[in-house]
Structure 1
Amino acid sequence: MSAADRVASLLPGRADYARLRTSWRADLLSGLTVGIVALPLALGFGVSSGAGAEAGLVTAIIAGVVAAVFGGSNVQVSGPTGAMVVVLAPIVAQYGTGALGAVCVIAGILVALAGALRLGRAVGLLPWPVIEGFTLGIAATIFLQQLPQAVGLSAHGLSSNAAVAAAQAIARAQLPTVLWSLAVVVATALVMLAAPKVIPVVPGSIVAIIVVSGLTVLLRLPVAKLGALPAGLPAPRLPGFDLATISHLALPAITVAALAAIESLLSARVAASISDTGPYNADRELVGQGLASIVAGFFGGMPATGAIARTAVNVRSGAQTRVAAIVHAAVLLVIVVAASHVVALIPLAALGGVLMVTAVRMVSPRTVRAVIRSSRSDAAVFWITAVITVSVDLIYAVGAGLVIAAAVALRNVARSAGAQREALPGGAAPGDERIALFRIDGALFFGAAERVLDQISAISDVDVVILRLSQIRYLDATGAQFLTELVQRLERRGITVLVKGIQAQHLGLAERVGVIAALRHHKHLFDELPPAVEHARSHVARATTAY
């Protein structure tokens, strides 16, 4: 692929809307449905992050459009997500909302740069237990983040750690405020669960918000409301940048960028697996998400990512092109412009209830059981990732999960390597007991080479050792060095070593490291086993005659 073609593959084109002529009705309906679903989530995630409901709406609208146009998936819906809230809440608590714009822009540049450098497929390196572990951790953290609102408290002055903040909120809860707030949360959850059975065409979260908000207004319940929202989008402004700001926010921005890339690509991959709208372009998806976060930063929004739940709703509603995601943003904009005074009456506890139910639904008990039952090592990776996500940080959790999963994989590969002593082919001949034929299998690398070396070196009472290397699937420098040591150790003991069947792709490395030079004679390297056995028998015969 030429450089021009590579650049073109990262940019929007007419092919993005090839199905629009026949799918526009389904796209409009899907966009309307997702827009309604996204409203309480955008408000709730904005509040939970500490940036405010306005930031959540701005992100869903502005970033939603940019990511839809420039992203690599035809049906991805982007905006504020629970996973991003988990990372943003401590950043906002430490640096304030004024730093959010700079974080958006820096993280967006990093994500777009990753796409331009063709790093999109790297998400495929994440093991399944790690993905499911941080999904469980994110869900638990989102649930815990809502507890202050559920007991009628503001998150201000509480710990930035969701679990600690939840415990502090419960300890500080006061009657009768806690009872009213919990009643709103429970009512919201019950309506969300019951609404699909009564009004299946309307999202349960919207029904719950309307019903519970109406009751709190009619009954004049003493619960905190969302408050006034601007009747429109804010004017764009340049985030504050200076060397001190960049140095302080560099690490948080890298964390945000890593999460945005991971979650967006996972969401796009899920969308591709459940829809018939074609594959996604992982690199273009990163470019689109990066641009979305950059633009959102100029409008006072939050970093954006692909939203798995909203994307799934979009697919199930019949979306075929990016128009559905664009319509979803337009629906939110109309609500902001035409009904901001109504939205202001929504109780914060009701938004907390919506997010609590959403968090519970993020976790599939069937998937959790499958991971736990798969193997002990995978279950350990799953639980460790989940616990670190809740107690420390999501990026640390993913890193720890990857390290543990890699260590387990290396251990399993190392166990597959070994040396087996075999009988000599053909009929028995005098002196065969003085010949040892070893077949080395699997991957001979730094994790397994020493064990194989010790296993063969322990041989005694033989004159010749034949090493069959044709079954080695992988050989690294450490493995080649151990082979050299093995040959040298046996030769020092007067045991002649013959090497058979070293593969062509390993021969260059073996020569450079010294395996071939360690042999007593260059003719002790064989391509086939029969000549090697014949040479070994002749060597033993000569040695016997000499005695």
Structure 2
Amino acid sequence: MNSPSKYRREWFSNIRGDVLSGIVVALALIPEAIGFSVIAGVDPKVGLYASFAIACVSAVVGGRPGMISAATAATAVVMVTLVKEHGLQYLFAATLLMGLIQIVAGLLKLGRVMRFVSRSVITGFVNALAILIFMAQLPELVGVSIETYFMIAGGLAIIYLLPRLTTAVPSPLVAIAVLTCIAWFTGMDLRTVGDLGELPEALPVFSFPDVPLTLETLRIILPYSLTLAAVGLLESLLTAQIVDDMTDTPSNKSQECVGQGAGNIASALIGGMGGCAMIGQSVINVSSGGRGRLSTFVAGAFLLVLIVGLDDLVRIIPMAALVAVMIMVSIGTFSWRSLVDLKRHPLPSSAVMLATVVTVVATHDLANGVIVGVLLSGIFFAGKVSRLLRVTRQHDTASNSVTYLVEGQVFFASAQQFVHAFDVTEQGPKIAIDLNRAHLWDITAVGALDKIVMKYRKAGIQVEVLGFNEASADMIDRFAVHSKDDRSTASASIH
């Protein structure tokens, strides 16, 4: 957990920037929260209340300052069947259990699994998300009036040109304000936030999910809760890593698991759906100057103020203004350098990045893309390490003995290569297998060594295995078949 002084710095070291960026994020959250509610098949207020609760609670408890968490599409798609078959109250119960699972994951330090996600997977994740963000704007770009295109172009001009004059106010916030004023004064026939659905007119009320507290209820919600927890944590930890890189600051990934869980519990208790970190909104926050926990809290709190207290103003915001902001996010999120690096980077790295992008765009599921990327990274890495194995045959004519010097890593991917390196048909009074420069990693490696030794013994050839390191010796002692009869000999060869 952060020290008190560091925690205070994360709240109050950038008050002006955090407040202004939080306001920008709050405005951009409204259409997305409503849209994700539609995806999940619930009332818009479910997504809006969730975004308020998750943002505010994760700001206090989470491990990544400046990251925005709210209702998301990735979790919304998981909820569709549950809502359709069992109703809204079961969704709240599943979200509550989702949060508990995430807190347990944080306490178990599962945030450390981010070590297994390669840079290529993260780049693919970012690029795919940028594409999905842009694709999500297409309904607002197709079949609309010419005024809409002019408004979007004007919004982008303000966003990109205003920073050259001043950075006192975030340019996306100015773009939203200017385009709203233009639309209101001119009376343009534009699609607005109010066209997306009814905004809630009252503050959320605390209530426990109205479901029977039985094993049958647990049987229904547990599969959904586990999936929601996994998807939510995966996206949150990846987003935290990306914000780490953007701000050049570290974060506590395991504490972020706890923060996400606490946010989802709070959401469920006020009638909200489950959510997680949002890379698009996090990029908006960082790009607008948000760095601390205050920016995340302001985003959630101001969202509630907007939808309850300023709903009449929010309803007239033209979608063109928010589309311009999201296009900026899409352009800023995409790693354009990765296109140049496709030729410069090793082929396996480029393949992992492209596979992640293609999978995400094809399935519209970020978790699927990351899983594919991680699996491919593991396969390519195993293949690369397996090729580093070398077995050298040394024949001593004086004693008519043969020594096989093994160098490298012996595991499931290199076991076959290891076996084929030995000539089990050769004759001689003695064969020595020297493992001084090798390491046996798993039972597949031990089984390969067993196979070689037993074939030599079957042919009547004496075999000595020597040079185990301590870890390999332990594997041999526990799992090898060939060492059962000569355990003392194997132990004596450890040095």
What interval of TM-score do these two structures reach, taking the shorter chain for normalisation?
Answer: 0.7 to 0.9
* Residue in structure 1 matched with residue 450 of structure 2 by the alignment: 484
Q: Secondary structure at the match of 1:416?
A: coil
How far apart are the structure 2 equivalents of 1:499 and 1:250? Answer: 50
Query: Quick one: structure 1 residues 446 and 230, their matched pair in 2 at CA, closer, same or farther if it must change by over 3 Å?
Result: closer
Comparing 86-95 with 262-271, which one deviates more in the overlay? 86-95
CA distance in 1, matches of 2:282, 2:31: 18
Number of the residue aligned with 1:292: 263
Deviates more, 1:218-227 or 1:296-305: 296-305
* Aligned match of 2:345: 374
Does the residue aligned with 1:472 lie in a helix, a strand or coil?
strand
- After superposition, the Cα gap between the structure-2 partners of 1:466 and 1:128, relative to the gap in structure 1 and judged at 3 Å, is same
| CA apart distance, 1:328 | 4.5
Do residues 196 (structure 1) and 155 (structure 2) align?
no
Q: State the match for 1:125 in structure 2.
A: 116
C-alpha distance 506-57 of structure 1, shift in aligned 2 (>3 A): same
- Asked if 1:28 corresponds to 2:15, the answer is yes
Paired residues, number: 481
- Hey, what does 1:408 align to over in structure 2? 380
- If the length of structure 1 is used for normalisation, what is the TM-score? 0.76
What is the alpha-carbon distance in structure 2 between the residues aligned to residue 64 and residue 524 of structure 1? 59
8 A contact 2:153–2:324 mirrored in 1: yes
Assess, with a 3 A threshold, how the Cα gap between structure 1 residues 289 and 307 changes in structure 2: closer, same or farther: same
Cα distance in structure 1, aligned partners of 2:204 and 2:278: 23
Aligned pairs (5 A) from 1:51-450: 51=38, 57-73=48-64, 75-80=65-70, 84-88=72-76, 91-92=79-80, 95=83, 98=88, 101-151=92-142, 173=143, 177-227=144-194, 229-230=199-200, 233-241=203-211, 250-271=222-243, 279-308=250-279, 322-336=293-307, 338-370=309-341, 373-392=344-363, 393-422=365-394, 431=398, 434-450=400-416
The question of whether the paired residues in 2 share the 8 Å contact of 1:443 and 1:474 is answered with yes
Write the letter of the residue equivalent to 2:415.
A
> TM (normalized to structure 2)?
0.83
> Aligned partners of 1:77 and 1:50: how far apart in 2?
21
| Deviation per residue, 1:30-62 (Å, 9 max, x gap) | 331221221232113213324477556534432
2:476, 2:244 → 1: CA distance? 44
Amino acid paired to 2:263: A
Distance in structure 1 (CA, Å) of the matches to 2:286 and 2:324: 25
Aligned-pair CA distance for 1:148: 1.4
Contact 1:48 1:89 in 2 (8 A): no
Query: What value does the CA root-mean-square deviation take over the aligned residues?
Result: 3.6
Structure 2 gap ranges (5+): none
Q: Does 1:499 align with 2:465?
A: yes
- Whose relative contact order is higher, 1 or 2, with alpha carbons under 8 Å and at least 6 apart? 2
Deviations 1:319-357 (A, max 9, x none): 786445434544444445553321110122432332232
Answer yes or no: is the 8 Å Cα contact 1:62–1:296 preserved in 2. yes
Do the aligned residues in 2 keep the contact of 1:16 with 1:322 (CA within 8 Å)? no
Separation of aligned partners in 1, 2:330 and 2:284: 16
Distance 1:314 1:143, change over 3 A: closer
Q: Quote the Cα distance in structure 2 between the aligned partners of 1:29 and 1:413.
A: 51
Which residue is equivalent to 1:545? none
Task: Quote the Cα distance in structure 1 between the aligned partners of 2:378 and 2:210.
Answer: 41
Identify if the C-alpha distance between structure 1 residues 372 and 59 changes in structure 2 by more than 3 Å, giving closer, same or farther: farther
- Deviation of the 1:291 alpha carbon: 1.0
Contact 1:70-1:284 within 8 A present in 2 as well: yes
3-state SS of 1:409 partner? helix
Mapped partners of 2:157, 2:211: distance in 1: 46
- Is residue 456 of structure 1 aligned with residue 422 of structure 2? yes
Cα–Cα, structure 1 residues 290 and 490, in superposed 2: closer, same or farther, change >3 Å? same
SS at match of 1:470: strand
What's the secondary structure of 1:469's corresponding residue?
strand
**Structure 1: distance between partners of 2:267 and 2:110:** 23
1:24 shift after superposition: 7.0
**Aligned residues of 1:33 and 1:328 also touching (Cα < 8 A):** no
Q: What amino acid does structure 2 have at the position aligned with 1:79?
A: S
Shift of residue 237 of structure 1?
3.8
Displacement, 1:91? 4.2
Q: Which has the larger radius of gyration?
A: 1
Give yes or no for contact 1:64–1:329 (8 Å, CA) kept in 2: yes
Cα distance, 1:178–1:488 mapped onto 2, change above 3 Å: same
Cα distance, 1:69 vs structure 2:
1.7
Conservation of the 8 A alpha-carbon contact between 2:21 and 2:285: yes
- CA-to-aligned-CA distance 1:480-535 (integer Å, 9 cap, x gap): 2221221222233343323231223222332441233577994997468xxxxxxx
Task: Work out whether residues 283 and 329 of structure 2, in 8 Å CA contact, stay in contact via their aligned partners in 1.
Answer: no
Aligned-partner Cα distance in 1 for 2:378–2:348: 11
SS at match of 1:234: coil
Deviations 1:457-481 (A, max 9, x none): 2563544322111111233222222
* 1:47 lines up with 2:13 in the alignment: no
Relative distance call for 1:367 and 1:246 in structure 2 (3 A) is farther
SS in 1 for 2:392: strand
Contact 2:24–2:172 (Cα < 8 Å) also in 1: yes
1:489 alignment partner, SS class: helix
- Specify the alignment match of 1:538 in structure 2: none
Query: Is the contact made by 1:149 and 1:349 (CA closer than 8 Å) also made in structure 2?
Result: yes
The CA distance in 1 between the partners of 2:473 and 2:121, in whole Å, is: 37
What SS does the aligned partner of 1:217 have?
Answer: helix
In the TM superposition, residue 449 of structure 1 has moved relative to its aligned partner by 1.8
Helix, strand or coil: the match of 1:457? coil
Q: Where do 5+ consecutive residues of structure 1 fail to align?
A: 1-8, 152-172, 425-429, 529-547
Deviation at 1:390, TM superposition (A): 1.4
